Amino acid sequence: MAEIRRIMAGVPDLRILDLNEAGVPYDPVEEELEPYDSFEENARSKADHFHRKTGLPTVADDSGLEVDALDGRPGVRSKRFAPVAGLSGLDMDLANNRHLLDEMRGVPDERRTARYVCVAVAVGASTRGVVTVRGEAPGRILDAPRGDAGFGYDPLFFDPELGRTFAEITQERKNARSHRGKAFRALAEHLGHGGEI
């Protein structure tokens, strides 16, 4: 939320509320809002759900890692890529990274290309439709983790332009290059230039 608020701060007459501020308590049904095979469909599902609950213009996103040598996997299953149950937080991140390294064993360096993807969908209070934006951050998957910052696949995701993994750079620098930053900057540009939702 802090990153999104910073990016969207320049949009006039816009106030961003998180779910708590909007008075929306957690509901277990939220765990079933991402059953689809595309980032776009999952983001739209979440945006529609919370728009119905609040009646307010709503933005939701879905993001993950696409690895070319794995035909785009883990993709929308990035959060639950490892074939294990009952893990969360750092334990889940570590399991996902181990599983990714196992899947990539023997893949030569030139075929380890990947990208982080974020799709944000804004659903409006009017009938003007839906805005969908996409941000991508290209990189490569290393054969061993590097760095202690970030989360998820960041220790394995190498940014060739920076010469570092996303886990080796500051949060500010990551925000400037990340898939989520790019998607929300595109949304801010749309809204800031008179676009509506």
Active site (catalytic) residues = 62
Q: How far apart, in Å, are the Cα atoms of 121 and each of 1, 33, 34, 99?
A: 15, 14, 13, 30
Q: Which residue has the tokens 């035909």?
A: 71
Is the sign of the CA dihedral 61, 104, 98, 150 positive or negative? negative
DSSP string, 131-191: EEEEEEEEEEE-SS---SSS-TTGGGEEETTTTEETTSS-HHHHHHHSHHHHHHHHHHHHH
Among 48, 173, 40, 28, CA closest to 117: 40
> Which amino acid is residue 145, in one-letter code?
P
Distance from CA of residue 25 to its chain's centroid? Answer: 22
